[in-house]
A and B are shown apart, each in its own frame.
Chain A
Amino acid sequence: MKLLTIDKEPNEAVRDLLGSLLSEGKAAGVLCLTREGDSGAVRYGLITDPERLGEAVPFYPAMPNNAGKLLSAMTLRGAAGDPIAAVVRPCELRAFIEVLKRQQGDGANIITVSSTCPGVLPLKRLVRGGEADLVENYWSAAAQVEPSPDIRQACRACRHFVPGSADFVVDLAGRADLKERTRVFAASEKALSLCEGVEAESGEAELESAEIGKIREARSRVAEESDAETGSKASGLSGIVDFFASCVACRACRTVCPICYCRRCDFEAPYWEYGPRDVETNLRKRGAVRVPPGTVNFHVGRLLHMGLSCVGCGMCTDVCPVDIPVSDLFSNTGASVQELFGYEPGRDAEEKIPITTFEENELSEVER
């Protein structure tokens, strides 16, 4: 694969790449994390003027929104007319591909710049102080094989941190020389034609390296441990009830989930709500009833609806006001079901979502 080595740290290097795309008219806009000054909010922005690229912080270690969801919203009414370059992490890209399979957007004319991802820091930790230290430690930890203790749990357990279908891949994970040098792979035909204007040392290399392999192993170990822990915590009905005991039904987990695109969620429908008869019946049966009802129903239901496409990004845990590790449960349960079908969300835009295909001979192990 073609490899460009730029003698700058990653944010600067990618600013150069994005700048060349803009000034050469190869992209009408670039979508990436932006920040006004040193203390402005870090959020996804669309920059059209190369002069404003100074505000771009493409690899700032946060995910205020899953960019896959933003790309979906942006292209829901039709594809981008002119090319837009988007800097997205692997899970954001995979999420975008999953919702494209559900007709929730259009991937045409999107130039994707992804990375071998060292993870992101939880939003609450960044907001509540000590940001400078957290970010500094993040970059030292990014060079290590073992995942940082500071990043989202979802990231610590993520084995899909090497993007499969991006145009450009910036190699971040495990690289010890990021302060001086950034390696950018041109991973598609499109990318090869786009990178001509970038000042860089050009060569050939493999994206998948021994280092990447070790990182994947380390994260798999975390995933195994985490799965076992969550599996025993949330075991059985009482386990699930306990797991979601603090839930305040704010639905933030659903709203930020890139896969949950329904404008009218089933779980807000009137037929789930309690009428006087439901109250009476439930009180008679149980003696005491938690209200508003339907906590576990919502979560298990949502898991059923989107689990097959869960990309394990961890947005849900990040926004939960009562710190329920939603992603631990959703991601690992999602992965188990995906495994049943040999399905990997976001791996391939042509790969159909399992419940949309009928196979006569399937899952015979659960037949009587």
Chain B
Amino acid sequence: MKKGYALQAPDGVRKAVAGFLKTCLDKDVFDAVLVCVRSGSACSYVLVQEPSFLDTADCLPPVMPVQGGKAVMSFTRHGKGMRIGALLRPCEIRAAVELSKLQQTVPENISFISMDCEGVIPLSDWLSDPEAAGAADGSGVRELCSICEQFSFCEDDPVGKADLHIATMGVAKDRALLVPVSARGDEILQKLDLTPGEETTGWVEEVEKLRKKRREAREESFAELRKRVCGLDALSEVFGRCLECHACRTACPICYCRVCFAGSEPAGDAAVDYVRRAERLGGSCCLPEQLLFHLGRMSHMSLSCVSCGMCEDVCPVDIPVGSIFSMVGQATQGLFDYVPGRSAEADLPLKKFVLDELEDVED
């Protein structure tokens, strides 16, 4: 089992991590670091090159304003650049890895620093009262966070391509363990003269315990959800108040298309089609693609869905998009034994042809 380096955190983990990132800049481990920063009630990802910025930056607020994978894409879409240490939640790293397989990020010079993720507070709760938001016991988080099993890693086959991991669960409150995951992670600690000497058994046990709880919660949650969305009528009802604002799509880290199939030239009806459709039943909704948009998007990105929940968070009418997409993602990914973002080498299922496959759906 890997050992970790004990990062002292007398003023709390968030400050200690900010200090660690600063040290990385001071000691030229990275040219810049990516970290989520809070300013008032606004939170955003910031690429930091000037170390003194981290002296006062309020890092790691318990919100996800933008999916970190998308943030990474925003500065690596057009080629690799400087050496960047990116502090991200596990689902954000997994999204960045998926995007690299889709040729939308060039992650060569990015070192991924992951962390034990307690989940994030929904944006609307955060906005209504940033100070009070989120219950102390972690129960005020996004629905998908509350049923997430991939909030950490501690297996020999890590879930997510992190280089370094910050362990806090099952660890004393006045410290965090820096656990090197990859060879690059080892190099980072070496360059900083930090030797991982702490046992991590406590951490591993805590993570396994929470994983089991989350797995059960997930099964329960999806069993309920399945009933709500089973069949076309039920699905139509759940998506009935969708405005087609497409915020879910734009916030999704996997949806990278600049021109989406929805709202593109070929997808659009003439007036006579609207009337004919309405005449079939005497009346119909004026958003003819309302359900098709979601099913289409699902069929396009489901295999890479990392269940981050951004989609659900930005929906102005509180449709449980994330939960539905996550549930379907679990099933589609399960068909191919594929875990999005686990490995940069594992092919996207649709890109790989296997002769003997999916026999159970053959005639």
Is the pair A279, B282 in contact by a Cβ cutoff of 8 Å? no
| Docked-complex contact A276 and B316, CB < 8 angstroms | no
Q: Does B218 sit within 8 A of A, measured CB to CB?
A: no
Query: Is B264 a contact partner of A291 (Cβ separation < 8 A)?
Result: no
> Which stretch, B37-45, B112-120, B208-216, B338-346, touches the partner chain A?
B37-45
- Decide if A263 touches B314 in the complex (CB within 8 Å): no
Interface string of A259-297 (1 = CB under 8 A from B): 000011000111001111011100110011111110000
- Cβ of A64 and Cβ of B243 under 8 Å apart? yes
Bound-state CA distance A255–B81 (Å) is: 32
User: Can you name the residue of chain B whose Cβ is closest to the Cβ of A82?
Assistant: B275
| Pick from A42, A55, A252: contact of B250, CB under 8 Å | A252
A321 touches B247 (CB 8 A): yes
What residues of B have a CB within 8 angstroms of the CB of A65 in the complex? 243-244, 286-287
Measured between beta carbons, the chain B residues less than 8 angstroms from A75 are 271
By beta carbon, the residue of chain B nearest A86 is B286
Is the beta-carbon distance between B123 and A43 smaller than 8 angstroms?
no
**CB-contact partner of B258 in A46, A124, A127, A264, under 8 A:** A264
With the chains together, A249 CA to B259 CA distance in Å?
Answer: 16
Given A78-B270, A248-B314, A322-B127, answer yes or no on A44-B275 (Cβ-Cβ < 8 Å). Answer: no
Report how far A48 CA is from B281 CA in the complex, Å.
8
Q: Which segment, of A27-35, A89-97, A153-161, faces chain B?
A: A27-35
Contacts of B65 in A (CB 8 A): 246, 248, 322
Q: Which of A28, A79, A248: most chain B CB closer than 10 A? A: A248
The answer to whether the Cβ of B161 comes within 8 Å of any Cβ in the partner chain is no
Which stretch of B66-74, B149-157, B187-195 is in the interface?
B66-74
Q: Judging by beta carbons under 8 Å apart, are A252 and B316 in contact?
A: yes
CB of A49 within 8 A of chain B?
A: yes
Contact flag A289-B47 (CB < 8 Å), given A245-B40, A321-B313: yes
A–B pairs, 16, beta carbons within 8 Å:
A34-B283, A44-B287, A45-B285, A47-B283, A48-B278, A49-B282, A77-B269, A77-B271, A128-B318, A251-B250, A256-B245, A274-B77, A290-B46, A291-B71, A292-B70, A319-B247
- Supply 14 further A-B pairs (C-beta < 8 A) apart from A52-B283, A274-B78, A323-B124: A43-B241, A46-B277, A49-B282, A64-B241, A78-B271, A124-B316, A245-B40, A248-B66, A248-B123, A251-B250, A255-B247, A263-B259, A276-B78, A288-B47
Query: A-B pairs with the 8 shortest C-beta distances?
Result: A49-B282, A287-B50, A276-B81, A292-B74, A245-B42, A41-B240, A41-B241, A275-B78
Binding site for B on A (CB under 8 A): 28-29, 31, 34, 40-49, 51-52, 55, 64-65, 70, 73-82, 84, 123-124, 127-128, 245-246, 248-252, 255-256, 263-264, 268-270, 273-276, 278-280, 283-284, 287-293, 318-323
